[in-house]
Every structure is written in structure tokens, then in C-alpha cells.
Amino acid sequence: MLARFRGVSILIVALSGASCAPKLMKLPSGPGEPAGDARAALSEATAACRAISNISAEVSASGSVGGRRLRGKLLAGLAAPAAVRLEAIAPFGPPIFIFVARGDDATLLLPREDRVLEHGRPDAVLGAIAGLPLDPADLRTALTGCAPSDARGAEGRRSGDEWRIVAAGSSDVYLRRDKAGPWRVVAVVHRDPNARDRAAAWRAEYRDFQDGVPRSVRLTSVDSKRFDLRLALSQIDTATALGADVFRVQIPPSAQPMTLDELRDARPGLRQD
């Protein structure tokens, strides 16, 4: 197990009352003009994140899920091609939850309630916990500020000298640079082509880059009611390989199974008791 997962207090606390979320980044609108340098700009913007195969970090989170406020910290470990571990530990006693997924198989353990969900679809389980419809590979891309893999080789368009927009399937990747600085992926707008309404769309925004990787990430649905999460990453480690044991969870014999519907109703760590 990650050494960093030991002895760290993590508590996600639901907060009541209204709170003003910061404004979203203003992105270029309109069709723009063809940009012959878009591929080169995308390559420069994603050079650092494409080199990351393993990442562990402390994540301070704030925002809302399903209209309910939250604030807290998580520890995350992710590895290519598709493995993730998220652990939320209370100040005292057992963790609030442990989420582990490899490929298309996810396990969620709720030690305090002695409940477990096994062999779930990762994006569905993560969506039930935090509103994020992401599988392990998509989550690693989102947290490292990278572009979807199908953006490579795509044509792009420009909006002035500072912006390039590259299509990635049904998503748009927004690149920006200040004056003579490097190109950065500052936002990705995701749309689900199979969704019936616009509310299924969501966006990722990135700020505070260090060594080409963002330290501030915002993930929000278009209607903001599904989820609006602001994540601050610290203690980032991309050099240490994460072994297979990181992505396993020991399930107590006494743990009772739970369904995805029960998990959605419970929202561990978010409900107000």
C-alpha cells in the first residue's frame, strides 16, 4: 500500500448553506479560424502529462455533489493504463471509504458501515460517490490536465494569438499561452454524443501549473447541480511506481454486499447525519 495512505486524516464533510463558487473560465466562442500550428501546440501542452504513468497526490476538495456542499481531503494513486485508488480516512477510526478500480472492475469498501460493492463499473461507482462519470484512465487524464487520446492528430482552430481549440471526438480541448510562454491545456469541454440533453456535458479547467502539470483542477457539470468540484493537488509524486498491491482492497469476511442504487442513496462521506 502507498506509505502516504497511512496516518493521514481525511474527512469529507457536508456543509449546509449557500456559497458562491468562483466563476468559470471564459472560453473563446465562435467558429474561429483554421490553425496549422494546433498539433504542435497540443504536443507542447501535453508533453509533461503524457510522460506520467504513475501519480500519487494529496487532494484537497471543495464544491458540491448533487447540490450538497462538501470540503475535505483525499489521497489518490493512479497508474497507467487504468488503475486507481482513492482513500478517505477519518481523523479517528477506520476510513470513510476505499475505492479501488482496475480496468472495468471496481470495488468500494465502506469500513465504518461494514458494506462493500464488488465488481462494479468504475465510472458508475465513482459517479455514485462523487458525481464524476469517469473510469480510471479518464480520471488520470483529468487530474493530470492532459487531453483525451483521440485529440492527437486532430485539426484545430485559432481564436486570436493566445488560443487554440482542438477537437477530440465529441470534446473540445482549449489551449492557451501568455505572450511567449508555453502552450497549456487550460480547459476541456466534454459532451456525451449519446446523451439526450445538454446537461450531460461537463468541463475540466486547469490552473497553477508546475513542471507542466496543473495543481488546481476544477471539474463541473454544465448545470453545476450534478457536480462542481475544485481540487488542489499537493505532495505530487510521479517518480515512484505503484505496485499491484496498491490497487487491491482487503474485504473483511463480515462485510455485507450493497448495490449501486444503495450506494447512490448513501453517498458515503456526503450525507448529513
Q: What is the pLDDT of residues 234-260, one digit of tens each?
A: 999 999 999 999 999 999 999 999 999
257 within a domain of the structure (yes/no): yes
User: Is residue 25, in this structure, part of any structural domain at all?
Assistant: no
Under the banding of pLDDT at 50, 70 and 90, the label for residue 7 is very low
- Average pLDDT for 14-31: 68
pLDDT in tens, 143-153: 999 988 777 66
Cα separation, 71 vs 270, whole angstroms: 9
pLDDT(117) > 50: yes
Most confident of 48-52, 86-90, 167-171: 48-52
Least confidently predicted of 159-163, 206-210, 225-229: 225-229
Once rounded to an integer, what is the mean pLDDT over residues 55-78?
A: 88
Give the integer Cα–Cα distance in Å for 184 and 221: 22
Residue 267, Ramachandran bin (φ over 0: left; ψ between -120 and 50: alpha; else beta): left
Instruction: Give the residue with greater pLDDT, 86 vs 7.
Output: 86
pLDDT at residue 15, as a whole number: 33
d(CA 69, CA 53): 32
| pLDDT for res 66 | 81
For the chain, the DSSP string reads --GGGSS-----EEE-S---PPPPP----S--EEETTHHHHHHHHTHHHHT-SEEEEEEEEEEEETTEEEEEEEEEEEETTTEEEEEEE-SSSSEEEEEEEETTEEEEEETTTTEEEEEE-HHHHHHHHHS----HHHHHHHHHTPPPGGGTT--EEEETTTEEEEEETTEEEEEE--TTS--EEEEEEE--TT-SSGGG-EEEEEEEEETTEEEEEEEEETTSSSEEEEEEEEEEE-SSPPPGGGG--PPPTTPEE--HHHHHHH-TTTS--
CATH code, domain with 242? 2.50.20.10
Q: Is residue 13's pLDDT more than 50? A: no
Q: How confident is the model at residue 53 (pLDDT cuts 50, 70, 90)?
A: very high
Range of the domain at 212: 3-15+36-266
Give the total number of structural domains in the chain. 1
| 244 is a domain residue | yes
* CA 39/CA 176 separation, integer angstroms: 13
What would the mean pLDDT of 50-74 be, rounded to a whole number? Answer: 88
Q: Is the pLDDT of residue 14 over 80?
A: no
Q: Which residues, at least 6 apart from 197, have a Cβ–Cβ distance to it below 8 Å?
A: none
CA 217 to chain centre: 8
More confident site: 18 or 133: 133
pTM of the model: 0.85
The average confidence (pLDDT) of the chain is 84
Task: Give domain status of residue 208, yes or no.
Answer: yes
